[in-house]
Structure 1
Amino acid sequence: MTKKRNPIWAALLSVLTPGLGHVYAGDLKKGLSLIGAEYGVILVAGIAGVLSTFYGIAVLIVFFIGFYIFVIISSVRLALKNRQYQLQSYNRWYWYLAILMAVSLLANTLFSARGAILGYQTYQIPSRAMEPTLQVGDLITVNTRYHQPKVGDVIVFLYPKDQRILYVKRVAAVGHDTVSIHDGVVYRNGKPEPLLAVPEDRRVRNISVSMDERRIPENELFVLGDWRDNSSDSRFWGTVPVNDVIGQVTQIWFANDASRIGKTVK
Structure 2
Amino acid sequence: MAAHFSLILVLVTVISGLIWLVDVIFFAPKRRENLEIAQASGATLSEEEIDKITREPVVVETAHAIFPVIAFVMILRSFIYEPFQIPSGSMKPTLLVGDFILVEKFSYGLRDPIWRTKLVETGEPERGDTFVFKYPENPSIDYIKRVVGLPGDKVVYRNKQLWIKPACDDSGNCPEMQRVELTKVNEGEFTQQGRPLVRLTEQLGDVEHDILINPAKPDYRQHFYQQPGLSNTEFYVPEGHYFAVGDNRDNSTDSRFWGFVPEANLVGKAVAIWISFEFERTEDDWLPTWVPTGVRFERVGGIV
Task: Report the TM-score range of the alignment, normalised by the length of the smaller protein.
Answer: 0.5 to 0.7
1:251 equivalent in alignment to 2:272: yes
Q: What is the CA–CA distance in structure 1 between the aligned matches of 2:216 and 2:76, rounded to whole Å?
A: 37
1:265 equivalent in alignment to 2:298: no
Residue in 2 that maps onto 1:155: 131
Q: Which amino acid aligns with 1:183?
A: N
Q: Is the 8 A contact 1:202 1:228 kept in 2?
A: no
1:123 equivalent in alignment to 2:84: yes
The runs of at least 4 consecutive aligned structure 1 residues that moved more than 4 Å come to: 86-93, 95-100
Residue in 1 that maps onto 2:97: 136
Q: Is the 8 A contact 1:123 1:141 kept in 2?
A: yes
How many percent identity over aligned positions? 28
Q: Which amino acid aligns with 1:164?
A: S
Q: What is the CA–CA distance in structure 1 between the aligned matches of 2:216 and 2:243, rounded to whole Å?
A: 17
Once the two structures are TM-superposed, the CA of residue 96 in structure 1 deviates from its matched residue by: 10
1:227 equivalent in alignment to 2:214: no
1:111 equivalent in alignment to 2:73: yes
Aligned pair count?
A: 179
Q: What is the CA–CA distance in structure 2 between the aligned matches of 1:225 and 1:182, rounded to whole Å?
A: 15
Q: Is the 8 A contact 2:153 2:236 kept in 1?
A: yes
User: Once the two structures are superposed, what CA deviation does each residue of 1:163-194 show, in whole Å capped at 9, x if it has no partner?
Assistant: 11110000010100010123322111111232
Once the two structures are TM-superposed, the CA of residue 113 in structure 1 deviates from its matched residue by: 4.7
5+ unaligned residues in a row in structure 2: which ranges?
1-45, 109-123, 166-176, 181-202, 225-231, 278-294
Higher-Rg member (1/2): 2
Once the two structures are TM-superposed, the CA of residue 133 in structure 1 deviates from its matched residue by: 0.8
What are the equivalent positions in structure 2 for 1:59-208 lying under 5 Å apart? 94-95=55-56, 98=60, 101-117=63-79, 119-147=80-108, 148-189=124-165, 190-193=177-180, 194-195=203-204, 198-201=211-214, 204-207=217-220
Q: Which amino acid aligns with 2:149?
A: A
5+ unaligned residues in a row in structure 1: which ranges?
1-85
Given candidates 245, 253, 258, the residue that maps to 1:237 is 258
Q: Give the secondary-structure state (helix, strand or coil) at the position aligned to 1:198.
A: strand
Q: What is the CA–CA distance in structure 2 between the aligned matches of 1:259 and 1:140, rounded to whole Å?
A: 13
Give RMSD over aligned pairs: 2.9
User: Once the two structures are superposed, what CA deviation does each residue of 1:80-136 show, in whole Å capped at 9, x if it has no partner?
Assistant: xxxxxx96998668359655632312212332453334x110011111111111111
Q: Is the 8 A contact 1:203 1:227 kept in 2?
A: no
Q: What is the CA–CA distance in structure 1 between the aligned matches of 2:49 and 2:81, rounded to whole Å?
A: 40
Closer, same or farther in 2 for the Cα pair 1:152/1:175, shift >3 Å?
Answer: same
Q: Which amino acid aligns with 1:263?
A: G
TM value normalised by structure 1: 0.59
Q: What is the CA–CA distance in structure 2 between the aligned matches of 1:202 and 1:110, rounded to whole Å?
A: 49
Structure with greater helix percent: 1
Q: What is the CA–CA distance in structure 1 between the aligned matches of 2:300 and 2:268, rounded to whole Å?
A: 18
What are the equivalent positions in structure 2 for 1:209-228 lying under 5 Å apart? 212-228=233-249
Q: Is the 8 A contact 1:203 1:228 kept in 2?
A: no
TM value normalised by structure 2: 0.52
Q: Give the secondary-structure state (helix, strand or coil) at the position aligned to 2:132.
A: strand
Structure with greater strand percent: 2
More displaced 10-residue stretch of structure 1: 86-95 or 197-206: 86-95
